[in-house]
Amino acid sequence: MNPMIAQIKSLPDMVRQIVPDYLDKIQNTLSQRFCQSFDHLYLMGCGDSHHAALASQLAFRLLSGVVTQALTAMQFSRYTAELLLDPARCLVIGISVSGEVARTVEGLLLARKMDTKTLAVTANPHSRIGRAADWVIDSTQPPFSDPEGMVIPGIRSYVSNQIALNLLAIYLAEFRARIPRKVVQTLIQQLVDLGDAIEKTIELNEEKTKELARFWSPQEEYIFLGSGPAYGGALFSAAKILEASGDVATGQDLEEWAHLQYFAKKVTTPTFIISAGDRDLSRAVEIATAAQAIGRHVAVIVPESKLSAFPKGVIQLPLADGIPEVFQAAISMLPGSMLAAYRAEQIGEPYFRNFGGGREKEGGGGISRIRTSETKGLECLRKV
Protein backbone atom coordinates (compact mmCIF):
# COMPACT_ATOMS: atom_id res chain seq x y z
CA MET A 1 0.00 0.00 0.00
CA ASN A 2 1.06 3.60 -0.60
CA PRO A 3 2.94 4.46 2.67
CA MET A 4 1.11 7.78 3.20
CA ILE A 5 -2.26 6.14 2.58
CA ALA A 6 -1.32 3.43 5.08
CA GLN A 7 -0.72 6.13 7.70
CA ILE A 8 -4.02 7.80 6.87
CA LYS A 9 -5.93 4.52 7.14
CA SER A 10 -4.38 3.89 10.55
CA LEU A 11 -5.87 7.11 11.95
CA PRO A 12 -9.31 5.86 13.08
CA ASP A 13 -7.90 3.23 15.45
CA MET A 14 -5.20 5.62 16.63
CA VAL A 15 -7.75 8.30 17.54
CA ARG A 16 -9.89 5.83 19.49
CA GLN A 17 -6.81 4.80 21.50
CA ILE A 18 -5.28 8.18 22.24
CA VAL A 19 -8.35 10.13 23.41
CA PRO A 20 -8.65 8.29 26.77
CA ASP A 21 -4.85 8.00 27.05
CA TYR A 22 -4.19 11.71 26.52
CA LEU A 23 -7.07 12.68 28.78
CA ASP A 24 -5.53 10.66 31.63
CA LYS A 25 -2.17 12.33 31.05
CA ILE A 26 -3.69 15.81 31.11
CA GLN A 27 -5.72 15.11 34.25
CA ASN A 28 -2.64 13.71 36.02
CA THR A 29 -0.47 16.68 35.03
CA LEU A 30 -2.56 19.83 35.39
CA SER A 31 -4.44 20.99 38.48
CA GLN A 32 -7.55 23.13 38.75
CA ARG A 33 -5.43 25.86 40.31
CA PHE A 34 -3.14 25.80 37.27
CA CYS A 35 -6.11 26.02 34.88
CA GLN A 36 -7.29 29.19 36.60
CA SER A 37 -3.86 30.85 36.83
CA PHE A 38 -3.68 32.62 33.44
CA ASP A 39 -5.77 34.90 31.24
CA HIS A 40 -3.82 34.80 27.99
CA LEU A 41 -2.63 31.75 26.08
CA TYR A 42 -0.03 31.50 23.32
CA LEU A 43 0.22 28.43 21.10
CA MET A 44 3.44 28.12 19.13
CA GLY A 45 5.30 25.63 16.96
CA CYS A 46 6.89 25.14 13.56
CA GLY A 47 5.56 23.47 10.42
CA ASP A 48 2.82 20.92 11.15
CA SER A 49 2.91 21.86 14.84
CA HIS A 50 2.10 25.48 13.95
CA HIS A 51 -0.72 24.26 11.72
CA ALA A 52 -2.09 22.24 14.64
CA ALA A 53 -1.92 25.36 16.83
CA LEU A 54 -3.88 27.40 14.28
CA ALA A 55 -6.44 24.63 13.92
CA SER A 56 -7.06 24.42 17.68
CA GLN A 57 -7.09 28.16 18.41
CA LEU A 58 -10.89 28.42 18.12
CA ALA A 59 -11.40 25.53 20.55
CA PHE A 60 -9.36 27.32 23.23
CA ARG A 61 -11.13 30.62 22.63
CA LEU A 62 -14.66 29.24 22.38
CA LEU A 63 -14.55 26.53 25.04
CA SER A 64 -12.17 27.86 27.70
CA GLY A 65 -12.81 31.57 27.15
CA VAL A 66 -9.08 32.29 27.33
CA VAL A 67 -7.69 34.93 24.97
CA THR A 68 -5.61 32.74 22.63
CA GLN A 69 -3.07 33.48 19.91
CA ALA A 70 -1.44 30.90 17.64
CA LEU A 71 1.96 32.08 16.42
CA THR A 72 4.90 30.55 14.62
CA ALA A 73 7.71 29.77 17.05
CA MET A 74 9.89 32.42 15.39
CA GLN A 75 7.20 35.07 15.72
CA PHE A 76 6.75 34.22 19.39
CA SER A 77 10.39 33.79 20.42
CA ARG A 78 11.98 36.73 18.64
CA TYR A 79 9.08 39.21 18.45
CA THR A 80 6.61 38.43 21.27
CA ALA A 81 8.17 36.75 24.32
CA GLU A 82 9.91 39.86 25.70
CA LEU A 83 6.88 42.08 25.05
CA LEU A 84 4.21 40.20 27.04
CA LEU A 85 2.06 42.73 28.93
CA ASP A 86 1.40 40.57 32.00
CA PRO A 87 3.80 37.59 31.83
CA ALA A 88 2.70 36.10 35.15
CA ARG A 89 -0.86 35.71 33.82
CA CYS A 90 0.16 34.05 30.54
CA LEU A 91 0.61 30.44 29.50
CA VAL A 92 2.79 29.49 26.54
CA ILE A 93 2.23 26.07 24.95
CA GLY A 94 5.08 24.85 22.76
CA ILE A 95 4.24 22.03 20.35
CA SER A 96 6.90 19.76 18.85
CA VAL A 97 6.65 16.06 18.04
CA SER A 98 10.42 15.52 18.15
CA GLY A 99 10.89 17.92 21.05
CA GLU A 100 14.12 19.20 19.50
CA VAL A 101 13.03 22.00 17.15
CA ALA A 102 15.31 24.90 18.08
CA ARG A 103 12.86 27.77 17.66
CA THR A 104 10.15 26.13 19.77
CA VAL A 105 12.66 25.30 22.51
CA GLU A 106 13.81 28.91 22.38
CA GLY A 107 10.28 30.26 22.67
CA LEU A 108 9.67 28.29 25.86
CA LEU A 109 13.02 29.29 27.34
CA LEU A 110 12.46 32.98 26.66
CA ALA A 111 8.95 32.73 28.12
CA ARG A 112 10.39 31.23 31.29
CA LYS A 113 12.89 34.10 31.51
CA MET A 114 9.84 36.37 31.65
CA ASP A 115 8.39 34.26 34.52
CA THR A 116 5.63 33.02 32.22
CA LYS A 117 4.06 29.59 32.69
CA THR A 118 5.13 27.09 30.02
CA LEU A 119 3.71 23.79 28.82
CA ALA A 120 5.15 21.42 26.20
CA VAL A 121 3.09 19.06 24.03
CA THR A 122 5.55 16.54 22.62
CA ALA A 123 6.01 12.87 21.77
CA ASN A 124 9.47 13.07 23.36
CA PRO A 125 9.03 14.25 26.98
CA HIS A 126 12.76 13.88 27.79
CA SER A 127 13.81 16.09 24.88
CA ARG A 128 15.00 19.69 25.08
CA ILE A 129 11.43 20.95 24.80
CA GLY A 130 10.46 18.75 27.74
CA ARG A 131 13.32 20.24 29.75
CA ALA A 132 12.46 23.78 28.65
CA ALA A 133 8.85 23.68 29.89
CA ASP A 134 7.38 23.73 33.39
CA TRP A 135 4.80 21.07 32.49
CA VAL A 136 4.79 18.40 29.78
CA ILE A 137 1.94 16.54 28.06
CA ASP A 138 3.19 13.35 26.41
CA SER A 139 1.62 13.07 22.93
CA THR A 140 3.34 9.79 22.03
CA GLN A 141 1.36 7.84 19.43
CA PRO A 142 0.69 4.08 19.42
CA PRO A 143 3.36 2.11 17.49
CA PHE A 144 3.06 2.11 13.70
CA SER A 145 5.51 0.62 11.23
CA ASP A 146 6.52 2.76 8.25
CA PRO A 147 8.65 1.08 5.56
CA GLU A 148 12.18 0.60 6.89
CA GLY A 149 14.51 3.48 6.08
CA MET A 150 11.74 5.67 4.64
CA VAL A 151 10.66 9.00 6.14
CA ILE A 152 6.95 9.56 5.52
CA PRO A 153 5.23 12.98 5.62
CA GLY A 154 3.66 13.17 9.06
CA ILE A 155 -0.09 12.56 9.26
CA ARG A 156 -0.45 10.67 12.53
CA SER A 157 1.59 13.24 14.46
CA TYR A 158 -0.58 16.13 13.27
CA VAL A 159 -3.82 14.40 14.25
CA SER A 160 -2.29 13.39 17.60
CA ASN A 161 -1.41 17.01 18.32
CA GLN A 162 -4.93 18.07 17.37
CA ILE A 163 -6.41 15.58 19.82
CA ALA A 164 -4.05 16.64 22.62
CA LEU A 165 -4.72 20.35 22.11
CA ASN A 166 -8.49 19.95 21.85
CA LEU A 167 -8.53 17.86 25.04
CA LEU A 168 -6.52 20.59 26.74
CA ALA A 169 -9.10 23.15 25.63
CA ILE A 170 -11.92 21.01 27.05
CA TYR A 171 -10.03 20.45 30.31
CA LEU A 172 -9.39 24.17 30.74
CA ALA A 173 -13.04 24.90 30.01
CA GLU A 174 -14.22 22.49 32.70
CA PHE A 175 -11.88 23.72 35.41
CA ARG A 176 -12.44 27.36 34.62
CA ALA A 177 -16.16 26.65 35.17
CA ARG A 178 -17.03 27.49 31.57
CA ILE A 179 -18.98 24.33 30.79
CA PRO A 180 -20.77 21.70 32.93
CA ARG A 181 -19.58 18.11 33.26
CA LYS A 182 -22.31 16.80 30.98
CA VAL A 183 -21.11 19.03 28.14
CA VAL A 184 -17.51 17.99 28.83
CA GLN A 185 -18.49 14.35 28.35
CA THR A 186 -20.25 15.20 25.08
CA LEU A 187 -17.20 17.02 23.76
CA ILE A 188 -14.87 14.17 24.68
CA GLN A 189 -17.21 11.73 22.92
CA GLN A 190 -17.10 13.95 19.82
CA LEU A 191 -13.31 13.56 19.81
CA VAL A 192 -13.69 9.78 20.08
CA ASP A 193 -16.21 9.96 17.22
CA LEU A 194 -13.50 11.51 15.04
CA GLY A 195 -12.34 7.93 14.49
CA ASP A 196 -15.59 7.08 12.71
CA ALA A 197 -15.61 10.43 10.88
CA ILE A 198 -12.08 9.86 9.59
CA GLU A 199 -13.03 6.37 8.44
CA LYS A 200 -16.03 7.69 6.51
CA THR A 201 -14.12 10.66 5.04
CA ILE A 202 -11.42 8.30 3.73
CA GLU A 203 -14.09 6.08 2.18
CA LEU A 204 -15.81 9.06 0.53
CA ASN A 205 -12.59 10.43 -0.97
CA GLU A 206 -10.22 7.58 -1.75
CA GLU A 207 -11.26 6.98 -5.34
CA LYS A 208 -11.91 10.67 -5.97
CA THR A 209 -8.44 11.77 -4.86
CA LYS A 210 -6.81 8.92 -6.77
CA GLU A 211 -8.64 10.02 -9.91
CA LEU A 212 -7.75 13.68 -9.33
CA ALA A 213 -4.08 12.74 -9.10
CA ARG A 214 -4.36 11.12 -12.53
CA PHE A 215 -6.51 13.87 -14.04
CA TRP A 216 -4.25 16.67 -12.74
CA SER A 217 -1.03 14.88 -13.56
CA PRO A 218 0.28 17.86 -15.65
CA GLN A 219 -0.45 20.35 -12.83
CA GLU A 220 2.53 21.52 -10.76
CA GLU A 221 0.89 24.14 -8.55
CA TYR A 222 -1.87 23.79 -5.94
CA ILE A 223 -3.55 26.17 -3.49
CA PHE A 224 -5.64 25.37 -0.41
CA LEU A 225 -7.93 27.96 1.19
CA GLY A 226 -9.55 28.05 4.60
CA SER A 227 -10.40 30.30 7.54
CA GLY A 228 -10.63 29.65 11.26
CA PRO A 229 -9.62 26.05 12.04
CA ALA A 230 -9.79 25.27 8.32
CA TYR A 231 -6.86 27.65 7.74
CA GLY A 232 -4.68 25.28 9.74
CA GLY A 233 -6.02 22.44 7.59
CA ALA A 234 -5.26 24.40 4.41
CA LEU A 235 -1.66 25.04 5.46
CA PHE A 236 -1.22 21.41 6.45
CA SER A 237 -2.67 20.13 3.16
CA ALA A 238 -0.30 22.36 1.19
CA ALA A 239 2.59 21.11 3.33
CA LYS A 240 1.80 17.50 2.45
CA ILE A 241 1.89 18.32 -1.29
CA LEU A 242 5.28 20.00 -0.84
CA GLU A 243 6.68 17.12 1.20
CA ALA A 244 5.20 14.29 -0.83
CA SER A 245 5.44 15.39 -4.47
CA GLY A 246 7.55 18.57 -4.30
CA ASP A 247 5.02 20.59 -6.28
CA VAL A 248 4.46 24.26 -5.53
CA ALA A 249 1.67 24.37 -2.95
CA THR A 250 0.30 27.26 -0.91
CA GLY A 251 -2.07 27.50 2.02
CA GLN A 252 -3.96 30.79 2.12
CA ASP A 253 -6.68 32.42 4.19
CA LEU A 254 -10.01 32.21 2.40
CA GLU A 255 -10.59 35.96 2.38
CA GLU A 256 -7.02 36.83 1.43
CA TRP A 257 -7.29 34.80 -1.78
CA ALA A 258 -9.84 37.35 -3.06
CA HIS A 259 -7.30 40.13 -2.48
CA LEU A 260 -4.23 38.31 -3.82
CA GLN A 261 -4.31 35.04 -5.82
CA TYR A 262 -7.52 36.08 -7.55
CA PHE A 263 -5.28 38.18 -9.83
CA ALA A 264 -2.78 35.44 -10.68
CA LYS A 265 -2.17 35.02 -14.41
CA LYS A 266 -2.27 31.22 -14.50
CA VAL A 267 -5.90 30.27 -15.00
CA THR A 268 -6.13 26.56 -14.28
CA THR A 269 -4.43 26.32 -10.84
CA PRO A 270 -6.22 23.64 -8.77
CA THR A 271 -7.88 25.58 -5.95
CA PHE A 272 -9.21 23.71 -2.91
CA ILE A 273 -11.69 25.47 -0.65
CA ILE A 274 -11.91 23.93 2.82
CA SER A 275 -15.02 24.95 4.71
CA ALA A 276 -16.57 23.81 7.97
CA GLY A 277 -19.97 24.72 6.53
CA ASP A 278 -20.42 26.98 9.55
CA ARG A 279 -19.11 30.52 10.19
CA ASP A 280 -17.18 30.42 6.93
CA LEU A 281 -19.88 28.99 4.64
CA SER A 282 -21.24 32.10 2.90
CA ARG A 283 -17.78 33.40 2.06
CA ALA A 284 -16.58 29.96 0.94
CA VAL A 285 -19.49 29.78 -1.54
CA GLU A 286 -18.66 33.26 -2.87
CA ILE A 287 -14.98 32.39 -3.28
CA ALA A 288 -15.81 29.10 -5.02
CA THR A 289 -18.07 31.00 -7.45
CA ALA A 290 -15.40 33.62 -8.13
CA ALA A 291 -12.62 31.07 -8.60
CA GLN A 292 -14.76 29.04 -10.98
CA ALA A 293 -15.73 32.15 -12.96
CA ILE A 294 -12.09 33.04 -13.70
CA GLY A 295 -11.22 29.52 -14.84
CA ARG A 296 -9.69 27.88 -11.77
CA HIS A 297 -10.08 24.13 -11.24
CA VAL A 298 -12.15 24.33 -8.04
CA ALA A 299 -12.58 21.58 -5.47
CA VAL A 300 -14.57 22.03 -2.27
CA ILE A 301 -13.78 20.11 0.92
CA VAL A 302 -16.87 20.51 3.06
CA PRO A 303 -19.27 18.44 5.21
CA GLU A 304 -21.41 16.22 2.98
CA SER A 305 -24.67 17.92 3.96
CA LYS A 306 -23.34 21.35 2.86
CA LEU A 307 -22.20 20.41 -0.64
CA SER A 308 -25.46 21.60 -2.23
CA ALA A 309 -24.65 25.20 -1.20
CA PHE A 310 -21.78 25.35 -3.70
CA PRO A 311 -22.05 26.10 -7.43
CA LYS A 312 -22.51 23.28 -9.92
CA GLY A 313 -19.38 22.05 -11.62
CA VAL A 314 -17.02 22.24 -8.65
CA ILE A 315 -15.29 19.02 -7.65
CA GLN A 316 -16.81 17.69 -4.43
CA LEU A 317 -14.58 16.15 -1.75
CA PRO A 318 -17.02 15.54 1.13
CA LEU A 319 -16.23 15.36 4.81
CA ALA A 320 -18.21 13.23 7.23
CA ASP A 321 -21.06 15.15 8.86
CA GLY A 322 -21.53 15.62 12.58
CA ILE A 323 -18.14 17.02 13.64
CA PRO A 324 -18.34 20.54 15.16
CA GLU A 325 -16.23 23.26 13.59
CA VAL A 326 -13.87 23.45 16.58
CA PHE A 327 -12.72 19.85 15.98
CA GLN A 328 -13.11 19.59 12.22
CA ALA A 329 -9.49 20.40 11.29
CA ALA A 330 -8.62 16.84 12.29
CA ILE A 331 -10.55 15.57 9.26
CA SER A 332 -10.58 18.51 6.81
CA MET A 333 -6.95 17.84 5.82
CA LEU A 334 -7.65 14.26 4.76
CA PRO A 335 -8.61 14.86 1.09
CA GLY A 336 -5.57 17.09 0.50
CA SER A 337 -3.27 14.59 2.23
CA MET A 338 -4.68 11.71 0.17
CA LEU A 339 -4.21 13.71 -3.02
CA ALA A 340 -0.58 14.39 -2.00
CA ALA A 341 -0.01 10.66 -1.46
CA TYR A 342 -1.47 9.66 -4.82
CA ARG A 343 0.17 12.58 -6.62
CA ALA A 344 3.65 11.48 -5.46
CA GLU A 345 2.86 7.91 -6.48
CA GLN A 346 1.51 9.02 -9.86
CA ILE A 347 4.63 10.97 -10.83
CA GLY A 348 7.12 8.68 -9.08
CA GLU A 349 8.48 11.40 -6.82
CA PRO A 350 10.28 10.35 -3.58
CA TYR A 351 9.10 11.97 -0.36
CA PHE A 352 11.16 14.97 0.75
CA ARG A 353 13.15 14.76 -2.53
CA ASN A 354 14.87 11.77 -0.94
CA PHE A 355 16.82 14.31 1.16
CA GLY A 356 19.06 15.07 -1.79
CA GLY A 357 20.62 18.30 -3.01
CA GLY A 358 22.03 19.36 0.37
CA ARG A 359 19.03 18.21 2.41
CA GLU A 360 19.68 15.79 5.26
CA LYS A 361 17.60 13.67 7.60
CA GLU A 362 20.11 14.27 10.40
CA GLY A 363 20.15 17.57 12.22
CA GLY A 364 16.65 18.39 11.05
CA GLY A 365 17.21 19.27 7.42
CA GLY A 366 20.87 19.84 6.63
CA ILE A 367 21.83 23.43 6.02
CA SER A 368 18.46 24.72 7.32
CA ARG A 369 19.56 23.51 10.79
CA ILE A 370 16.08 23.09 12.21
CA ARG A 371 17.36 21.43 15.37
CA THR A 372 20.87 22.85 15.68
CA SER A 373 20.15 26.51 15.02
CA GLU A 374 21.49 29.04 17.53
CA THR A 375 19.09 29.03 20.47
CA LYS A 376 18.65 31.94 22.90
CA GLY A 377 17.88 31.42 26.57
CA LEU A 378 19.72 28.09 27.00
CA GLU A 379 20.67 29.05 30.56
CA CYS A 380 17.03 28.36 31.46
CA LEU A 381 17.14 24.74 30.23
CA ARG A 382 16.32 22.49 33.17
CA LYS A 383 18.57 19.57 34.05
CA VAL A 384 16.89 16.18 34.30
Over residues 130-189, the pLDDT tens digits come to 999 999 999 999 999 888 889 999 999 999 999 999 999 999 999 998 999 999 999 999
Is there a domain that residue 360 lies in? Answer: no
- What number is the average pLDDT over the span 16-33? 96
3-state secondary structure of 101: coil
* Residue 37 · residue 117 · CB < 8 Å: yes
- 19 and 162 in a common domain: yes
Q: Is residue 373 part of a domain?
A: no
pTM, two decimal places? 0.96
Q: Do 310 and 345 fall within a single domain?
A: yes
The domain total for the chain is 2
Per-residue DSSP letter, 63: I
| Share above pLDDT 70 across residues of the chain, in percent, rounded to a whole number | 98
Which CATH number goes with the domain that contains 94?
3.40.50.10490
Looking at the structure, tell me whether residues 36 and 136 fall in a common domain: yes
Establish if 327 belongs to a structural domain: yes
User: What average pLDDT does this structure show over 26-33?
Assistant: 95
Q: Is residue 278 part of a domain?
A: yes
In angstroms, the CA 271 to CA 289 distance is: 12
Same domain (yes/no): 13, 92:
yes
With respect to residue 350, please indicate whether it lies within any of the assigned structural domains.
Answer: yes
Strand spans (E) along 313-372: 315-319
Backbone angles phi, psi at 271, to 5 degrees: -125, 115
Which pairing describes strands 297-303 and 270-274: parallel, antiparallel, or unpaired? parallel
Whole-angstrom Cα distance, residue 243 to residue 204?
A: 24
Beta strands per DSSP E along the chain: 40-45, 67-72, 90-95, 117-122, 135-138, 221-226, 248-253, 270-274, 297-303, 315-319
Whether 130 and 258 share a structural domain: no
Pick from 179, 213, 244: which residue ends a domain?
A: 179
Q: Are residues 173 and 211 in the same domain?
A: no
DSSP string, 326-341: GGTHHHHTHHHHHHHH
**pLDDT tens per residue, range 358-371:** 777 765 556 778 88
| Same domain (yes/no): 97, 150 | yes
Other CB atoms within a 10 A radius of the CB of residue 193 amount to: 17
> CA triplet 341, 342, 346: central angle to 5 degrees?
125
Question: Is pLDDT at 244 greater than 60 in this prediction?
Answer: yes
Flag whether pLDDT at 344 surpasses 70: yes
Q: Which domain holds residue 89?
A: 3-179
Q: Is 368 part of a structural domain of the chain? A: no
What is the DSSP-derived secondary structure letter of residue 355? G
Q: Average pLDDT, whole number, for the chain?
A: 95
